[in-house]
Amino acid sequence: MTSSDIVDIPRHWYNVAADLPFELPADLTPDQAGSATSQPVGRSMALQLPLALVRQTIGKTSEIAIPDPVRELYRAWRPTPLLRAHRLEQALGTKARIYYKYEGGNVSGSHKLATAIAQAFYYRSAGVQRLTTGTGAGQWGTALAVACRSFGLACKVYMVAGSFTQKPQRKTIMQLHGADVVPSPSLDTRSGKLARDRKIDGGNMAFAVTEALEDALASQGSALSVGSGEAYSILHSTVIGLEADEQLAKLGERPDVVLASLGAGSNFGGIALPFLKYKLRDSKHTVRCVSVESSACPKLTQGVYRYDYTDGSGVTALQKMYTLGHRFRTHNMHAGGLRYHACSKLISALYHHKWTEAVAYTQTDVFASAVQFTQLEGILPAPESAHAVHGAIQEALRARQDGTSPVILFCLSGHGLYDMSSYAEYLEGRMENVVIDDDAIRSSLGYLPDVEARGQRPS
Amino acid sequence: MTAATPDTAGPDTAGPDTAGPDTAGPDTAGIVRRVVVDELRANQVTASAPLDQVTDDLVLGSGGLGISSLLLLHIFVKLEASLGFTFEDAAVAGARFATVGDLVRFVTSAAPAPRRAGET
């Protein structure tokens, strides 16, 4: 392995909005979608999101300065190492050069800490005293718990019940950082109690966010924080790609293909956008940016580009994005962080306009690659990150077949040390692939708000 | 309490894209109403009231102009660009807004006093 982490922490995040050759579709209010659960008439509004994050969301400044307190906290684990997978290359018999950016070397164990630290800073600056959130596999919840602790904020995490049971260590490390962690559906919210009473299956990310939002709206000094799909989450994560760009440049390399797993978009956007920048600015650049999703939740490869709710409540804004429908459910999927029903509107728009690519893989294939990677390279990938490992291996094998020698870069977004039950299931031959048939997707899409058909937005 | 800071975006903020006038003058209320209408039109929000008659008693959200909390945040950022100062996050986060009048009063009280001739 070659480490090339002799670079400084970037002073700015990269805002791709400055280089987009198209406008992002406007968000819609639930009223515009004819939601039955929209805002009560005449109620006064309290604003949940700090203006600083909104400025980042709608601004078109290319470089956004990283605040000093955030940068100081980044120093605990950044810059992260860029490593070359020499032994994997040899084992695959490829002439491709495979590099990976390892984001698992912090206390939260994943890339999520980059935006969690930034968000906690901005919320505290806005006078917020407590953050609530929903988490799937627990990576985001852990990152937010760590960040809240760093800035003296209280933290409440609604964790998807399946993951809560599968990964008790995740709960413990969140508690270790002072967070209050409950399984979702919980007994702490009206919607959670309702779901439990009706035995409604609420074990998914959209419902966990719904509970976190209800909690934040009902609690003075609280606000909801989300970790992946928002433009500012992606923005903060670009510190990953910016570092990788500088590290590769010091080695005299430039990637031909950049891969990352896709949950809602912060991981993929975080490493890919600083490289896509070159292509957006100059058509001579040919870098391919490939998002790798789970075939159990194939929003880009099998979803539709339509307006949908970003959570399950029907009270938040609607965004135009690739979606499987906010009622989509996936069971027995080990990469919980990829379980979100949709993809952020920014990453969706880039895919829609063909600036990026997407592939989907089954979990048994992904785990086979993860085992090969850990045996050769000595790092155990999180199931989500293993999708990128598998994608990179497929690219390297294709290069062998084609007789080419591309530079492949992927983001190893987190370690899998909390996921041993999943690895045990794989090793014992008990892991099954999740088959999503067209009828299941069609059924879920039937619940999409019919915005385009009502003529409120062009399709 | 002042809810505004001069338009000198520090290292922790991304400032407005376009600079507005140095101070907010007596027409602040008019600018607020214009930005509200512009944003409603830009986002194709279907308001329950005619947009050429945005009066202070009109409800901002459901049953009135149909502005969501997210759109209201966008309106604040647009106002920063139009008025040439930035709002303090803590002041905005601590306020509640029911009507256009609430918004106008908040912005007017947050705006820095107009500079006198010769003042730098």
Round the average pLDDT of chain A to a whole number and report it.
90
Q: Is B89's CB within 8 Å of A121's CB?
A: no
Report how far residue B34's alpha carbon sits from residue B104's, in angstroms, rounded to the nearest whole number. 11
Selected residue of A9, A23, A55 to mutate for chain B interface (largest B Cβ count, 10 A): A55
Domain ranges of chain B: 19-110
Q: What is the DSSP letter of A81?
A: P
Residue range A52-71: mean pLDDT, rounded: 93
Per-residue confidence band for A314, with pLDDT thresholds at 50, 70 and 90: low
A45·B87 Cβ contact <8 A = no
Q: Which residue of A has its CA nearest to B3?
A: A126
Closest CA to A136 of A59, A198, A203: A203
Coil, helix or strand at residue A42:
coil
Tokens at B78, concatenated:
């647009």
Q: What is the pLDDT of residues A170-207, one digit of tens each?
A: 999 999 999 999 999 999 999 999 888 877 665 777 78
Residue A414: DSSP 8-state: B
Give the residue, B40 or A109, on which the prediction is more confident. Answer: A109
pLDDT for position B5: 41
**Measured distance between the N- and C-terminal CA atoms of chain A, rounded to whole angstroms:** 48
Tokens 């049971």 sit on residue? A165
Non-local (6+) Cβ contacts of A259 within 8 A are: A289, A290, A291, A292, A388, A391, A392, A395, A408, A409, A410, A411
Tokens coding A56: 């980042």
Q: Which of A240, A296, A329, A300 is nearest to A422 (CA)?
A: A296
Give the separation between CA B75 and CA A304, rounded to whole angstroms. Answer: 30
Closest Cβ opposite residue B63 in set A41, A55, A127: A41
Here the tokens at position A108 are 């939260």
Residue from B73, B79, B105 whose CB has the most chain A CBs within 10 Å, to mutate: B73
pLDDT at B18: 37
Q: What is the ipTM of this complex?
A: 0.77
Distances (CA, A) of B38 to A29, A234, B33, B41, B105: 16, 28, 9, 5, 19
SS3 A300: helix
Is A45–B44 a contact, with Cβ atoms under 8 angstroms apart?
no
Residue A331, exposed/middle/buried by CB under 10 A (0-12, 13-18, 19+)?
exposed
Binary contact (B77, A125; C-beta < 8 A): no
Enter the tokens of residue A293.
């999703």
Read off the pLDDT band of A447 (50, 70, 90).
Answer: confident
For residue A200, the model assigns a pLDDT of 66
**Chain A CB contacts of B45 below 8 Å:** 29, 32
Nearest to B13 among A26, A39, A52 (CB): A52
Best to test chain A binding among B60, B89, B97 (most A CBs inside 10 Å): B89
Report pLDDT digits (tens) over B94-106. 888 999 999 999 9
Buried-state track A199-210, b at ≥16 Cβ within 10 A, e below 16: eeebbbbbbbbb
pLDDT the model gives residue A303: 95
Instruction: Give the predicted TM-score (pTM) of the model.
Output: 0.89
pLDDT at B16: 38
A77: three-class secondary structure by DSSP: coil
* Cβ–Cβ contact B96 with A under 8 A: yes
Instruction: Tell me which residue of A219, A450, A131, A30 sits closest to B70, measured CA to CA.
Output: A30
Cβ distance of A39 and B11 shorter than 8 Å = no
Kindly list the residues from chain A whose CB atom is less than 8 angstroms away from the CB atom of residue B72: 45, 47
Report the length, in residues, of chain A: 459
Fold entry, domain B19-110 = 1.10.1200
Per-residue pLDDT of chain B (120 residues), as tens digits, is 334 443 333 333 333 333 344 444 558 889 999 999 898 888 777 666 677 778 899 999 877 888 888 889 999 999 999 999 999 988 998 888 999 999 999 999 998 766 555 555
- A residues 1..60 contacting B (CB < 8 A): 15, 26-32, 38-52, 54-56, 58-60
Of A44, A47, A59, the CB nearest to B98: A44
- Under DSSP, is residue A384 helix (H, G, I), strand (E, B) or coil? helix
List pLDDT tens digits, range A203-239: 777 788 889 989 998 998 999 998 878 999 999 999 9
Q: Do A51 and B89 touch (CB under 8 A)?
A: yes
- Pairwise CB contact (< 8 Å): A127 & B66: no
Locate the chain A residue with the closest alpha carbon to B101. A44
Q: Specify burial of residue B18 (Cβ count, 10 A radius: 0-12, 13-18, 19+).
A: exposed
Q: Report how far residue A271's alpha carbon sits from residue A274's, in angstroms, rounded to the nearest whole number.
A: 7
CB spacing of A51 vs B92 below 8 angstroms: yes
pLDDT of residue A110 exceeding 60? yes
Check if the beta carbon of residue A186 is closer than 8 Å to that of residue A94: no
**Residue A339 confidence (pLDDT):** 82
Closest Cα in chain A to B15: A55
Q: Write the CB contacts of A408 (distance below 8 Å, at least 6 apart in sequence).
A: A96, A97, A98, A99, A255, A256, A257, A259, A392, A395, A396, A399
From the CB of residue A434, how many other CB atoms can be counted at a distance below 10 Å?
Answer: 15
Please say whether the beta carbons of A426 and A124 come within 8 A: no
Partners of B67 on chain A (C-beta within 8 Å) are: 29, 45
Query: Rg of chain B over CA atoms, in angstroms?
Result: 14
Show the tokens assigned to A61. 């400044």
A317-367: pLDDT as tens digits: 789 999 999 888 777 788 878 888 899 999 999 999 999 999 999 999 999
**What number of C-beta contacts closer than 8 Å exist between A and B?**
139
Instruction: Tell me how far CA of residue A225 lies from CA of A14, A49, A143, in angstroms.
Output: 21, 8, 11
Q: Helices A363-377 and A383-402: crossing angle, nearest 10°?
A: 80
pLDDT score at A69: 98
Q: For tokens 């029911």, name the residue.
A: B98
Give the nearest partner residue to B77 out of A54, A127, A223, using CB atoms.
Answer: A54
CA distances from A456 to A33, A377, B36, B51 (A): 9, 52, 19, 18
Is A51's CB within 8 Å of B102's CB? no
Residue A226 makes CB contacts below 8 A (sequence gap 6+) with A133, A134, A209, A233
Closest residue of chain A to B93, computed from CA coordinates: A47
For residues A25-37, average pLDDT:
63
Mutation pick from B7, B12, B18 vs chain A, by most beta carbons of A within 10 Å, is: B12
Query: DSSP 3-state assignment of A170?
Result: helix
CB contact under 8 A, B16 and A125: no
Q: What is the largest CA-CA distance in chain A?
A: 66
**pLDDT beyond 50 at A407:** yes
pLDDT in tens, A137-161: 899 999 999 999 999 999 999 998 8
Q: What share of chain A in percent tops pLDDT 90?
A: 72
Longest pairwise C-alpha distance within chain B: 47
